[in-house]
Amino acid sequence: GGDIQSAALNHALVKNYSIVGLHWGLYNAHDRAAVAECHRELTRLADDGAIRPLVSERLALADVADGVQRLADGKTVGRVVYVAGEPTS
């Protein structure tokens, strides 16, 4: 969510690296196995503590609809997750 970030292109030119974008949704349509493998590897890295995804909100079931709307409106940062058994607000 939020604003689309811009990159300082002069740094990429000086350091000789590439900035590449991709349409991740097309991978799901054309190479579902790659998506599944990426998910497995990211889950493994998170389980090992090598990466820590930003979870900005933990929601009870009663708050999920509002959380999904904020996600759709681009007003969230990081992951918004439902946590079973959380007290309602």
Q: How many CB atoms lie within 10 A of CB 45?
A: 13
pLDDT in tens, the chain (89 residues): 557 777 778 888 888 888 887 888 888 899 999 999 999 999 999 999 999 989 999 999 999 999 999 999 989 988 899 999 866 55
pLDDT of residue 5: 73
Contacts of 63 by beta carbon, 8 Å cutoff, 6+ apart: 88, 89
pLDDT of residue 11: 83
Q: Is the full-model pTM beyond 0.75? A: no
